[in-house]
Amino acid sequence: MAPSAIRADGTVYTHAGEVQASEPRALESAEMPGIVAQYVQAAENAKRAGFDGVEVHAANNYLLEQFIRDSTNKRTDAYGGSTENRTRLVLEVVDAVVKVWGGNRVGIRLSPVSLQIGNTPLDSDIVTTYGYLIDKLNAFGLAYLHFVEGTTGTDRESPQNVDLDALRARFDGPFIGNNKYDLALAEQRRAAGKIDAVAFGRPFISNPDLVARLHKGLPLTPPAPETFYGDSAKGLTDWPVVAA
Ligand SMILES: Cc1cc2nc3c(=O)[nH]c(=O)nc-3n(C[C@H](O)[C@H](O)[C@H](O)COP(=O)(O)O)c2cc1C
């Protein structure tokens, strides 16, 4: 399912291996409350499972970001068209999840300038769309805002001359940066007041003791991308721990 029946120009990983993405079905307007209810169920499940909080994933062109971007949302109902309409679903989900957890236990992940996933085009007016969304998010007292800065796993560039740091500054709370960070970049951007924390992705795969290694200045083991989407533990959970 998707906001509109537009097939992503990319592949997905299934039990049968890597296959071409199929064409999604456009959600009916009447189905939208059920979608929000599924997020509520997930939030409740996470609570019962003993999580400390949840992150609303509105990045990387998964369902919520498909609604946000005008490139993937061609709807004509209350969930498509204007910026207000395209951000309606994500704001309804945040509102519902905050009611389960409280705002200080809910974060949100956005990727305003990430191009790569499914070769999905960017929104035609990134600053207006995501700026509006961030302004609205301020009402919830969220634990943090988290950006994929640049194109996920690829580069830290911002097309359309978007100043991501300025966009992030519209958020009132803590900010987590992600994408191609190493310790030096993390320290530099933290010192400049651009980020409050970093989400490390790939370095954590091959360094289960990443935090201790960064703390002690120990060298990092490079990850093995060819095993990232493998169907076994090899290259995912068999990396050595060197830092006590
Ligand atoms: C094997 C692998 C799987 C990933 N799966 C997801 C995913 O399901 N959803 C998502 O938003 N990002 C996913 N990512 C992207 C990471 O969350 C992160 O944004 C990206 O790796 C950039 O951070 P890094 O440079 O620290 O690795 C994945 C990355 C890798 C390497």
Residue with tokens 């709807």: 75
Does residue 87 line the site of ligand 1, with CB under 6 A? no
Query: Which residues does residue 115 pair with via DSSP β-bridges, in sequence order?
Result: none
The count of domains in the chain is 1
- For the cut 80, the answer to whether the pLDDT of residue 66 exceeds it is yes
206 CA distance to ligand 1 middle (Å): 13
Does residue 178 line the site of ligand 1, with CB under 6 A? yes
209 found inside a domain: no
Q: CB within 8 A of 91, min separation 6: which ones?
A: 133, 136, 137
Q: If you take atom 10 of ligand 1, which residue's CA is the nearest one?
A: 60
Query: What stretch of H or E contains 211?
Result: helix 210-216
64 found inside a domain: yes
Q: The pTM is what?
A: 0.95
pLDDT recorded at residue 83 = 98
CA 204 to chain centre: 17
135 found inside a domain: yes
3-state secondary structure of 55: strand
29 CA distance to ligand 1 middle (Å): 31
207 found inside a domain: no
> Cα–Cα distance between 121 and 113 in angstroms, integer?
9
Answer whether 88's CB lies under 8 Å from 36's CB.
Answer: no
Does residue 179 line the site of ligand 1, with CB under 6 A? yes
Q: If you take atom 20 of ligand 1, which residue's CA is the nearest one?
A: 153
Pick from 164-168, 203-207, 212-216, 235-239: least confident: 235-239
- For the cut 70, the answer to whether the pLDDT of residue 118 exceeds it is no
Q: 62 an active-site residue?
A: yes
pLDDT over 90, % of the chain: 84
83 found inside a domain: yes
pLDDT (mean) for 52-77: 96
The range of the structural domain enclosing residue 141 comes to: 36-199
Q: If you take atom 2 of ligand 1, which residue's CA is the nearest one?
A: 228
80 found inside a domain: yes
Answer whether 66's CB lies under 8 Å from 93's CB.
Answer: no
119 band by pLDDT with thresholds 50, 70 and 90: low
145 found inside a domain: yes
3-state secondary structure of 214: helix
Answer whether 204's CB lies under 8 Å from 172's CB.
Answer: no
16 found inside a domain: no
CATH number of the structural domain spanning residue 74? 3.20.20.70
Q: Which two tokens stand for residue 3?
A: 């906001």
In tens, the pLDDT along 135-146 reads 999 999 999 999
